[in-house]
Structure formats: structure tokens, C-alpha cells
Amino acid sequence: MSPESDAFEKSAKYIEKLYLNESFWDNNKTLCLLLDYDGTLSPIAPHPDQTSMSPGNREALEFIISQPNVMVAIITGRDALNAKSVVALENVTYAGNHGFEIHFPDGFIFNYELNQKLKENYPKMVEGLNEISHDGAWVEDKKYSLTFHFRAVPAEYHKELINKSTEIIKKMGFRPSPAHMAVEAKPPMQWNKGYAAEYILKHKFGEKWQEKAIVLFMGDDTTDEDVMRVLQGRSLTFRVTANPDLESCATHKIPDTKTVTDILQQIQKRLSRRTPIQ
């Protein structure tokens, strides 16, 4: 076993002792948990409608959210209303469409405004992708962005679908990016999950959010690297990946969603002993 793999195995086993030790905690600051959903709080499923959060994650998050001096945000590629529906937790910020729409618990809603040309091209892009869909490929229409799924398609058609979908997405002026057995199409703006994470923190705490918050982020996909990059050196970040040698901007790599549960349960345990800010 390589040193990297050995460290990876060890991190999974001793996560709560190694990464959530006393140096992480600061009782004078608010704890902010920023979390991806698919592949992080829930294992990846063949279809987004088939996902569910584990009882361990739900129980831990319900307790964490109920505590004072805590903020929780879900930052996902799903649309915000769908994320609200599947996560189904109150007093949570939901950032959907990779941060292009953000619903805050106080009722404030942020929407990144698309230009007129992109608004006109979006339905054309959906139509074009539907036309090339076959053998189980399908389009997840999220109004700002979309995901072209081919997980159920026989492997011999994958390259064809990737090439055709990428061409259509580019032609319509959107930005294609690889995902788990899918191609995502996002508006070509300087905006992503990373900018959304920083926007959420500034909305809550102001420009000097680092003086008031300790931040932990967990995500599993390439789009989550945007958060890790923006928060690098200013927070504790985890990349969920089965590959210990994967290049990542994350502080640490963890192997699976079970370890996500371990971390949340350790936070739950630690918060039960925390002295609230006076």
C-alpha cells in the first residue's frame, strides 16, 4: 500500500480524532456547514429521484441545525426547490443550480440573472438534447442549468452521447462540464458553487466572515472543487472520492458517504458539549 493510500485508509478510520480535534473548534465563532447533496449526503443513485439521505445523516443534521450559533447550507447542482424537497430540513440555506439560485431561511432569494440570448437558447438546448437521447439517456431540466444523463445507456454509446451533447451545449452558448455519467450545461458566467459559498457567508456575516465563522465543506464532484478552491486556507474541506491519489483542492480526502456520516455524527457529539457564544 502506498503512503498516500495508507493515509487515506487512516483518515477514514480516525476522521473524528484527526480532523475535528480541538484546533478546529472556536466557541467564539459560528459553525458553518456547507454540504453537497448527491454523492455526499446521499449515495449516487441511477436516477436523482431515487436518492435518500441516510437516517444517520438526517438525525445528525436535525440536531446540528437545532443548536445555537450554527448555520447549514446545501450547495447542489439540483434546482433549489428540488433540493428543499429531498433534503426536507427547515432553517437551512438551499443553493441550487450550482449556486445560480439561493434560498435563504429568512425568505430572501438570490437569482443570478441570465442575459436574454441565454434565456432564448436554453429551451432550444433542452430540445436538442432530447432529440439525441436514446437507450436510457435523458435531460434533467433545471431552468438555469441542466444535466444530460447517460448512466443507464450501454457503454458503447457513451462517447457518441458525450460528443453530441457537448456540441449542442456549446452551440447554444452554455458551458459543458463532465459529471458522474453525465454532461452538465451551465451558463458561461463567472459564477459557480465556490462564488455561491462565499456569497452565502458574506450574506450571513459580512465581508469579514472569517472573523465570525468556522467553515466546513464536504462535496464529491468536480464542481465541488470550486468551493474548495475559493475556501482554500480559510476552512476545512473534504472531497469524497474512492481515489486516494485524486488531485484536489480539499484539505482532506475521504472515501465514501459513510465517512460523511461519521463526521456529522462527531460534530453532533461535539456540539452537545459546546458552550454557546455569550
Contact partners, residue 158, CB within 8 Å, separation at least 6: 150
pLDDT value for 276: 54
- Cell numbers given for 194: 465556490
Rounded to 10 degrees, the C-alpha dihedral 250/254/259/264 comes to: -10
pLDDT value for 19: 61
Contact partners, residue 153, CB within 8 Å, separation at least 6: 134, 135, 136, 137, 161
- Cell numbers given for 95: 443553493
pLDDT value for 224: 97
What are the pLDDT digits (tens) for 11-44? 444 555 556 666 677 878 999 999 999 999 999 8
pLDDT value for 25: 79
pLDDT value for 69: 93
* Domain with residues 3-112+190-271, CATH architecture: 3-Layer(aba) Sandwich (3.40)
Q: Residue 176 is inside which H or E element, if any?
A: strand 175-179
The alpha carbon dihedral of 43, 45, 48, 54 has a sign of: negative
In the chain, which stretches have pLDDT less than 70?
A: 1-23, 274-278
Phi-psi sector, 206: left (phi>0), alpha (psi -120 to 50), beta: left
Is-contact 253 8, C-beta < 8 A? Answer: yes
pLDDT value for 35: 99
- Cell numbers given for 136: 436510457
Contact partners, residue 71, CB within 8 Å, separation at least 6: 30, 31, 32, 33, 93, 204, 213
What are the pLDDT digits (tens) for 179-209? 889 999 999 999 999 999 999 999 999 999 9
Q: Which residues of 63-94 are buried (b: 16+ CB within 10 A; e: fewer)?
A: bbbeeebbbbbbbbbbbbebbbebbeeeebbb
Residue 85 is classified by DSSP as H
Residue position matching grid coordinates 476552512: 235
What's the rounded Cα separation, in Å, for the pair 170 and 189?
A: 14
What's the rounded Cα separation, in Å, for the pair 76 and 95?
A: 6
pLDDT value for 1: 47
What's the rounded Cα separation, in Å, for the pair 214 and 44?
A: 28
Torsion angles phi and psi, residue 182, rounded to 5: -165, 165
Domain ranges across the chain: 3-112+190-271, 116-186
Kindly report the pTM of this predicted structure.
Answer: 0.86
pLDDT value for 18: 57
pLDDT value for 172: 98
Is-contact 146 185, C-beta < 8 A? Answer: yes
CATH class of 116-186: alpha beta
CA 8 distance to own-chain centroid: 21
Torsion angles phi and psi, residue 15, rounded to 5: -50, -45
